[in-house]
Chain A
């Protein structure tokens, strides 16, 4: 049986908690705190560590680090390997994102319509995003393999290529870059599609109906109604995709490891090879964060445009 004192204490605690719940200036920060803590612990601290590593002389087997200023950047940036990787990074990121945005728009428009088996199509489109990326890319490695390529086998079976004329998808610079971009697009397409689909469903139907009555063509609908209205969300999709393409190395690591002769080497993979495989953690960190200021600027610009578009 509870005592009188206990009975009184319990509501008092409840009141204190209730006071916090009733005050928006407390409740807001309280609700967002777990997310902030998570970002600080998982993203913020490692990022700060990487920043510090990039201006230090740390190597993989060393725990003490001395400050060396910008020496790592000055040493690595002028090298041909870095320059090639930088150029490849831009080609890889920009081409893949252009393709992702175009294809995601097409897919999202298609998924907006009602048709039989729509749930299945949605599921299939989401699969590349749901499946572990390394596993999916290993599947692509086999599809593009020089001996067992199912694409080449089919092309040969239908008489389009001969047995000794198999394209080496990962062995020719342009084909290899095309291959890694294709796989990257395959991987990012679901995310972009879902984001754009969410934007499309938020457009009030009466706007399109009014345009229909006025006799607007398909392209007019797209470029004068849909695109302006979903611009904020489109920019978010583009920003996500760009950051991913500029910083990720899984597809390239599994498919080409930067080859043939560094023609698909990007900064993210070069950072890994230098820092982890080569042992120079400091230089690896410098390569990895080299594009951070640019990505930060792009993110700020994109988010500002998106916000402005949202307000107007």
Chain B
């Protein structure tokens, strides 16, 4: 090699020296540059069921907030199936996002999260109190800690086919669970369209079965957090689901997954599902004719009450190991107080946990240009009166979370519906499982 060529070692030496010099030079020319680096805020959201929301949040709101607060905001989106695994990985590595969004309450992560008491208080000063549903889903009464903050929740109304229910004399849809059973059976017999309420190991089934239980006055726990699953009311709810399945449904409901409600209604196959309004929004885009037939109804009345679950509970946590806790708190306060933008961007999918943040909510949902008819979503105007949390009438504790996440109640109902276990046997098995789970979490001091 000639003298003019540069070997690898020399090249590295030269470039390293040059880079160092450039760095020093820049700091001399622009004083303070090295220690006034822009703050960063990393947010993890799950992929929203309404794509327009992610578009707004990632490309508009987060960017504008970053500009106003001299912060570089990064938003990552992951599928809902990966949320818990991702959270576990971040906790294990003690590194990750500053703000982490769960799609259901995450009480088992309590020891890793910052207490949101002050954030709740700050928001309360600006826009008033949060709804009870938010507190029940983010507060642990045992440790007196707000392990998360819930800006919004998603209602879980009845989605029914107006044409089919009209044919059997209920053009405005069913009002009671008994009407679903009787008229659903009539529709199935007459037109071949079954009812589509899941009985599988998945989240929609978990919500639907609790909705029925709570309407029958059956609960996993009482207000004080004592296990109360084994009751006459639960047995009655089990018997009802068995009858409902046999008279109105098919084995298809055992195959249900988180997208089945949408597929089954939009394809025109089923007469009724319980789902968030993503179903009607999908129909508006993909099948406008069918969209005219799919209408919404309030929570159905059971023997004890008319009650519905939240379909999704948006719960933000700030990890104790987050690098920008202050930024994350400020972002949350700003996001919640400006929630009206999110409500509109998400096409009414997410309802506010702080009511006053969307003062014209009633007006907005009463006249939606995309809806058929425009007041289709007006039925949700009193949703706060009938929407409740997993674990009602108590809190969404770590034990309730494990019962939910391991599908204990889903399997109990499915076994009875399929005739694989008597209501009594299935209840005994589920009760034993719940007892064991409650015992474990009591020992860990979280319940």
Contacts and interface: CB of A to CB of B under 8 A. Distances in A.
Interface of A: 57, 59-63, 75, 79-81, 145-148, 164, 168-172, 256-262, 265, 273-274, 276-281, 283
B112 interface: yes
B366 interface: no
A133 to B, nearest CB: 15
B418 interface: yes
Contacts of A75: 436, 440
B433 A280 contact: no
Given A59-B444, A273-B406, A276-B84, A258 B108 contact: no
A171 B106 CA distance: 30
A63 B112 CA distance: 9
B402 A279 contact: yes
Contacts of B411: 81, 261-262
B350 interface: no
Nearest to A64: B111
A260 B436 contact: no
A136 B414 CA distance: 28
A169 B201 CA distance: 16
Given A164-B192, A258-B407, A261-B420, A279 B401 contact: yes
- Scoring A147, A148, A169, A260 by chain B CB atoms within 10 A of each residue's CB, the highest score goes to A260
Contacts of A262: 201, 411
B263 interface: yes
Interface stretch (B20-28, B249-257, B335-343): B249-257
B418 A261 contact: yes
B254 A260 contact: yes
B168 interface: no
B46 interface: no
Given A63-B112, A259-B255, A280-B440, 13 more contacts: A79-B433, A79-B436, A80-B429, A81-B411, A146-B260, A168-B254, A171-B251, A256-B255, A259-B414, A261-B420, A262-B411, A279-B401, A279-B405
A278 B437 CA distance: 10
- Scoring B267, B402, B406 by chain A CB atoms within 10 A of each residue's CB, the highest score goes to B406
Contacts of A57: 443-444
B12 interface: no
Contact of A61 (B108, B257, B440): B108
Contacts of A79: 432-433, 436
- Scoring B432, B437, B444 by chain A CB atoms within 10 A of each residue's CB, the highest score goes to B444
B262 to A, nearest CB: 11
B88 A147 contact: no
13 contacts: A57-B444, A60-B87, A60-B109, A62-B111, A62-B444, A146-B252, A171-B253, A171-B255, A257-B201, A257-B202, A259-B202, A277-B406, A279-B405
Given A57-B444, A62-B111, A259 B200 contact: yes
Contacts of B432: 79
A274 B84 CA distance: 12
4 closest cross-chain pairs (CB), A and B: A279-B108, A61-B109, A277-B405, A260-B254
A278 B401 contact: yes
B110 interface: yes
A150 B264 CA distance: 16
B401 to A, nearest CB: 6
A168 B88 contact: no
A273 B250 CA distance: 26
Contacts of B87: 60
- Scoring A80, A257, A265 by chain B CB atoms within 10 A of each residue's CB, the highest score goes to A257
Nearest to A263: B420
Nearest to A275: B88
A60 B86 CA distance: 11
Given A171-B253, A256-B201, A277-B84, A60 B402 contact: no
Interface string B102-123: 0000111111110000000000
A32 B253 CA distance: 53
Nearest to A261: B414
B255 A168 contact: yes
B384 interface: no
B415 A261 contact: yes
A151 to B, nearest CB: 14
Contacts of B418: 260-261
Contacts of A80: 429
B252 A59 contact: no
B398 A279 contact: yes
B202 A146 contact: no
B91 interface: yes
- Scoring B110, B269, B440, B446 by chain A CB atoms within 10 A of each residue's CB, the highest score goes to B440
Given A61-B109, A278-B406, A170 B433 contact: no
B201 to A, nearest CB: 4
B85 interface: yes
Contacts of A265: 201
Contacts of B420: 261
A223 B192 CA distance: 54
Contacts of A62: 111-112, 444
Given A257-B200, A261-B415, A274 B406 contact: yes
Given A75-B440, A168-B255, A281-B88, A260 B414 contact: yes
Contacts of A171: 250-255
B298 to A, nearest CB: 28
Contact of A283 (B85, B267, B440): B440
Contact of A170 (B255, B414, B429): B255
A171 to B, nearest CB: 4
A265 B437 CA distance: 19
A261 B260 CA distance: 17
Contacts of A63: 91-92, 94, 111-112
A172 B251 contact: yes
B111 A146 contact: no
Contacts of A147: 252, 263-264, 267, 269
Given A81-B433, A257-B201, A277-B405, A60 B255 contact: no
